[in-house]
Structure 1
Amino acid sequence: MLDVSNIEFGYNKQRLFTNLSLSVEPGQIVGLLGLNGAGKTSLLKLIAGALYPQSGDITLYGKSTLQRNPEVLADIYFVPEDPWGPALTPESWLNRYGVFRPNLNRDLFFTLLEEFKVDRTKLISRMSYGQRKKCALAQAMASGSRLILLDEPTNGLDIPSKAQFRRSLSLVDLQDKMFIISTHQARDLETVLDPILIIHEGELLCNFSASVITEQFSLRRTDSLNGLSVIYAEKDALGYQALLAEPGAGADLEMLFTAAIQNPEVFKQALYSSQPSQTKETH
């Protein structure tokens, strides 16, 4: 289990997070949504132990990641948006660096490379950005680490590769693993993410199961917004596509994300007022 407790963090005089708290359970694939610059990457680096908060603590199965204990760090795998491309083939990488990952699954690694159509005989440094990223994703998912942090994993991937990535998650035994996947492209991964965290201007706007969120709101095509409990609406040639604060046909995640960013206070009020037993994790 991952616990982030009352984290405060910022760069120079700019405060990014204040009293940020959240928890992740084994088996979850958490979607971390936010605009570029919202703090998604900083949060992942804090969890990975690559950055240090001014106060608060982060623990993985009861052990602080901030102490940078090698045993704890081996249980975390962080893939940045632009992954490192060493002058090694994937197999050479495995032989050289696999020793630092005692639970690494070689068979799964090569299965994932095949799924991603990555040439295992080619130097990673000479791969395209998309191929290099898929190699890094295979490394992470086969690492055996129980906490896998992926920063914008679908950036740079074409449409077939995005589908390959979604399928590849089914090859990983999630029973004792946790994924946190940051993205600002909600539609790419909405079928696999649950729960959903939305970060905006340093605040955790939302921390709910995807099913709770999508069932709480509904989408409606309408000519007029009069008399409707509108959270957010987009006008087009046919009228309005409106997100309403009422149960109905499940709203898609991208529309919900846009609503949360455009009208955060209205979104929070609609979401949390319907969940009396659910408490906001943080501001």
Structure 2
Amino acid sequence: MGEHDRGAPRVTRAPCGPALETRSLTRRFGRRVVLDGIDLTVARGSVVGYLGPNGAGKTTTMRIALGLLRPSSGEVRLLGGGRPSQGATRARVGYLPGDFVAYPSMTATDYLSYLARLRPPFDARTTTTLCERLRLDPDRRIGTLSHGNRQKVGIVQAMMHAPDLLVLDEPTAGLDPLVQHEFLALLREARDRGAGVLLSSHVMSEVEAVADTVAIIRDGRLVAVDDVARLLATAGRRLELTFTDAVPLDALRTAQGVRHVDVTGRTASVEVTGSTADLLRRAAPHGIERLRTHEPDLAEVFASFYPPTGECR
């Protein structure tokens, strides 16, 4: 955040309390309710993936959490109790907005050095290492950089002071796959040293790869907050069974954990939650010619909260 006061105090970092906590957070713009009672916690040493389509309220949540926008009601606590308006608290936060911009006439080196004077603590070696790992040439003027390279500048400025809380809005936009991979490694390292990370991204595969918890927001309300593995397990899996003869529809439908069965010819597509043992036991006597298993991914779980009918699950 480039708005910290010059000479912000060096902070003694305490491990108590969550990195970020919101309670009953609400925001209205006129009669339109953008956020409706958001309760969200980012524990220290964890990555929370914050998922939702454009306009769902993700960026508004982040801006309120960082004191850039006032809530209509509700409460925000940062790093064990601090308020976003407190300079000592803000100095421990790294933020990459979705619309990141920097001074185009400055080189990345000059820009990052300028920010370093505003928000200690700072180690120049960390900045150099980040630039090297993200393949950023810091001696070029920011205005001459591609979108992806400007995004790298944004990532470096968010991470260079080893913050205790990282708030990242679409951080990999414009990055090539190799740099995306390195960025995810940096996030894991930040988490492992105890930082809390709130990550908003439309790239479900990267959220699934790095997040411990996922929060899904729909029309300003949280519709799911859960451990990634538990969400995937709840979504169940899909089995495709091809039989030597007709599909034993009744046997499949009555098996434990079966949620839905589609039949095409001699092949049944079965959605099942939990163990598949009972399903396979019931299917086996009918002659299984071929069996395929499809494990759900986070994109499918997310899509289940946005069905075509427009009705929330």
The separation in 2 between residues aligned to 1:134 and 1:242, in whole angstroms, is 44
Structure 2 Cα separation of the partners of residues 168 and 17 of structure 1: 30
Q: 2:97 aligns with which of 70, 80, 86?
A: 80
* CA contact 2:44–2:196 (8 Å) conserved in 1: yes
Q: Deviations over 1:95-115 (max 9, x none)?
A: 212022212332222111111
Moved more, 135-144 or 50-59: 135-144
**Percentage of pairs with the same residue:** 25
Instruction: Indicate which of 71, 87, 106 corresponds to 1:70.
Output: 87
Instruction: Show the 5 A alignment for 1:43-192.
Output: 43-60=61-78, 61-65=80-84, 68-86=85-103, 87-172=105-190, 174-192=192-210
The structure having more radius of gyration, on CA atoms, is 2
Normalised to the residue count of structure 2, the TM-score between the two structures is 0.75
Give per-residue Cα distances to partners, 1:197-243, cap 9 Å, x unaligned: 01011111111111211223322143799834149x9x9xxx89776
Secondary structure of the 1:153 match is coil
Unmatched 5+ stretches in structure 2: 1-17, 242-246, 277-293
Q: Does the Cα contact within 8 Å between 2:259 and 2:270 map onto a contact in 1? A: no
SS class of match (1:211): helix
Aligned residues: 261
8 Å contact from structure 1 (residues 33, 198) kept in 2: yes
CA distance in 2, matches of 1:247, 1:265: 28
Measured against aligned partners, the alpha-carbon deviations of 1:60-104 in whole angstroms (never above 9, x if no partner) come to 121222xx1211222222211231121222221232120222123
Maintained 8 Å contact 1:102/1:144: no
Amino acid of the residue matched to residue 23 of structure 1?
T
| Letter of the 1:44 counterpart | M
RMSD (CA atoms): 2.8
Indicate if the aligned counterparts of 1:28 and 1:194 stay in contact, CA closer than 8 A: yes
Pick from 237, 240, 245: which aligns with 1:222?
Answer: 240
**Structure 1 unaligned blocks of 5 or more:** 268-283
Once the two structures are TM-superposed, the CA of residue 265 in structure 1 deviates from its matched residue by: 7.2
Give the Å deviation of 1:141.
Answer: 1.6
Q: Is the 8 A contact 1:154 1:188 kept in 2?
A: no
Taking the aligned partners of 1:170 and 1:184, their CA distance within structure 2 comes to 19
Q: How far apart, in 1, do the equivalents of 2:69 and 2:140 lie?
A: 33
Superimposed CA distance per residue, residues 116-157 of structure 1 (whole angstroms, 9 cap, x where no aligned partner): 111011112221110010121122122232111110112222
